[in-house]
Structure 1
Amino acid sequence: MVRIDPADLAVFLAIARQGSFRRAASELGVTPSALSHSLRLVEERIGIRLINRTTRSLALTDAGARLFARINPAFLDINDAIDELNRFRDTPFGTLRLNVPRICARITLMPIVTRFLAAYPDIQVELVISDALADVVAEGFDAGIRFGDRIARDMIAVPIGPRHAFAVVATPDYFAKHGKPLTPRDLAGRPCIRYRFMSGTLYDWEFERGGEEIAVEVDGPLTLSEQDVMLDAALAGTGMAYLFEEQVRAHLRSGALLRVLEDWCPYYPGFYLYYPSRRQMPSALRAFIDFARTV
């Protein structure tokens, strides 16, 4: 019978979850070449190829996919069991891995995380910043953070951080040339900076006033998938941008940007931290949730 060390299986799981030797190596704290070598030794020992890889991509073989489906839940249970040992300590410890959209990291999460780390010196936080929706279970995260309407229904969601409102902004010169829209429908025909999700979908600007909800498909010369770059483009006079109020607050105070349709941009609950309900909550995650509720 072929015997495989659990550490070898952990190598395989990390590569399978991350879909990348580089990301898996970062997770395990080793080099990509060392990880590739470890996987090759495992495959040679069992005589079965688990992962097909080229210089540009990798994919699980049928055998690899079946192995991943069988052992990944078991490893999650082991992690839960180890984390239960925290109850025998005075303070939580361990690593908290969160998948976070870029804009949330900038305007909401970092002020919370820095204070949390000062309060819990035995906990380490790893933020993987990505605007793509992540399967937090399959990819080995303790939790993710997204807007509430982008969270799967089988997840537990907890509000985190303050409420947020969006703001439609442009430079004074832009409005002098194109005029100010008085209603969302007036956006038609005016140059706007569009936002495209990582999925490829273009975002329709959303408005609400007095119970009336409007989603506007704007048009314009520039489409971006990074909100900080959208702000730069708006400051350059390229078009109107639909951004978080917190992003543009300083530029509104300085007069570099002007705001329109403010009465059509209500406050929303903001971001939610979400995690799978089927797993026992890691103590580091519980400590973080409790802490975030107090700030």
Structure 2
Amino acid sequence: MPRLDDLQIFVTTTEVGSFSAAARLMDISPALASGAVQRLEGCLGVRLFIRSTRRLRLSDDGERYLPHARQALETLKLGEVALTEGRDEIAGLLRLSMPSDLGRNVLLPWLDEFQQLHPKVLLQLRVSDQVADLFGEQLDASIRYGLLADSSLVSLTLCPSNRRTVCASPDYIARYGQPETLEALNRHNCLRYVMGEQTYERWHFHTPDGVKIIQVSGNRTSDDADVVRRWAVAGLGVVYKSKLDVMDDIRGGRLVEIFPDDYGQPAPLQLVCAHRTSLTPALQVLRAFLSERCERYFKQPALPQA
């Protein structure tokens, strides 16, 4: 029988595109990640990946096996939730921080639903795009994008396959045209995001030829990611946002994706805790709940156009 951790490493590797990226995400060594996939391949008697010096891609057998591996992990996750639901300990105060755009537009209704399922849970939310101080602000957890720089923190993946995507409104594209290449972004008004003293104006893309960095400029910046998204929807420029942030706008036709989805910089969504003692039953149930909602959210069909 395949080992559960080998299945998880296999699925995570397919979502982030390399053993090293999967290892960073799961806080293990690249050799351990590669070895786990090799062990799984030996157990199954097939090659799951085609390996080369420049890239890693699924084999035909890997493509066939991937949905079953995902389903097995999801079934086990839901089983853990089912065992935990209804216990008296799914109660108490949860102090969470989350990004402004994702928090207001996606997570808030999910948290409403979670609280209806677990009415003994009390929520205290900090909605901000600045990196939260888990210790200083006495938070139980923070919902963040990207890989952790501080390895002493505990990271639980919510949406490992999420990436950034370049978008603009149909009105902007009608007036100024659609960039045909990454380099063409230099000629467009790019809406930029500020965190602390840093302006994110060097956009990273993962192309078939490797990572490409494009220096962009524009006439608007903000430290609030929701404001930047609203500017894009209003037709004021091009934006480079997490796919989770703009999913509804893309499905509703308010924004149009400009480049292939797999060009975008990986932006895994994670639930971050200060230490493992913070992983209360309530927080573990929340993690499983949000993971399931993220997966369902990505599978929703586009809205019909008027």
Which of 101, 107, 129 aligns to 2:127? It is: 129
The corresponding residue for 1:183 is: 181
The corresponding residue for 2:172 is: 174
1:83-117 CA-to-partner distances (Å, cap 9, x unmatched) read xxxxxx73332101011111231355334422321
Contact 1:97 1:142 in 2 (8 A): yes
The corresponding residue for 2:233 is: 235
1:38-75 CA-to-partner distances (Å, cap 9, x unmatched) read xxxxxxxxxxxxxxxxxxxxxxxxxxxxxxxxxxxxxx
Assess, with a 3 A threshold, how the Cα gap between structure 1 residues 286 and 218 changes in structure 2: closer, same or farther. same
Contact 1:109 1:161 in 2 (8 A): no
Contact 2:204 2:264 in 1 (8 A): no
Assess, with a 3 A threshold, how the Cα gap between structure 1 residues 117 and 267 changes in structure 2: closer, same or farther. farther
**C-alpha distance in 2 between matches for 1:214 and 1:107:** 30
**C-alpha distance in 1 between matches for 2:165 and 2:210:** 18
1:237-285 CA-to-partner distances (Å, cap 9, x unmatched) read 3221122334444544554443311355348463101112264533432
Contact 1:205 1:218 in 2 (8 A): yes
The corresponding residue for 2:193 is: 195
The corresponding residue for 1:154 is: 152
Tell me which amino acid in the other structure corresponds to 1:262: P
The corresponding residue for 2:112 is: 114
The corresponding residue for 1:209 is: 207
How far has the Cα of 1:158 moved from its partner?
0.3
Using structure 2 for the length normalisation, give the TM-score.
0.58
**C-alpha distance in 1 between matches for 2:114 and 2:238:** 37
The corresponding residue for 2:142 is: 144
**C-alpha distance in 2 between matches for 1:163 and 1:278:** 24
Quick check: 90-99 or 239-248, which moved more? Answer: 239-248
Q: Structure 2: 5+ residue runs without aligned partners?
A: 1-86, 294-306
Contact 2:90 2:120 in 1 (8 A): yes
How far has the Cα of 1:154 moved from its partner?
0.5
**C-alpha distance in 2 between matches for 1:280 and 1:223:** 36
Assess, with a 3 A threshold, how the Cα gap between structure 1 residues 95 and 170 changes in structure 2: closer, same or farther. same
Contact 2:140 2:278 in 1 (8 A): no
Task: Give the superposed CA RMSD.
Answer: 2.7
Contact 1:151 1:274 in 2 (8 A): no
Tell me whether 1:273 sits opposite 2:271 in the alignment.
yes
Aligned pairs for 1:7-26 within 5 A = none
1:124-143 CA-to-partner distances (Å, cap 9, x unmatched) read 11111111112201211111
Contact 2:165 2:261 in 1 (8 A): no
Using structure 1 for the length normalisation, give the TM-score.
0.60
Quick check: 213-222 or 265-274, which moved more? Answer: 265-274
**C-alpha distance in 1 between matches for 2:88 and 2:182:** 54
Tell me which amino acid in the other structure corresponds to 2:198: T
Tell me which amino acid in the other structure corresponds to 1:200: E
Contact 2:95 2:141 in 1 (8 A): yes
**C-alpha distance in 2 between matches for 1:269 and 1:111:** 22
Contact 2:158 2:270 in 1 (8 A): yes
Choose 1 or 2 for highest CA Rg: 1
Assess, with a 3 A threshold, how the Cα gap between structure 1 residues 151 and 123 changes in structure 2: closer, same or farther. farther
SS of aligned partner of 1:152: coil
> Aligned residues, how many?
206
How far has the Cα of 1:201 moved from its partner?
0.6
**C-alpha distance in 1 between matches for 2:289 and 2:113:** 9
Contact 1:181 1:260 in 2 (8 A): yes
Tell me whether 1:260 sits opposite 2:258 in the alignment.
yes
**C-alpha distance in 2 between matches for 1:94 and 1:235:** 39
Q: Structure 1: 5+ residue runs without aligned partners?
A: 1-88
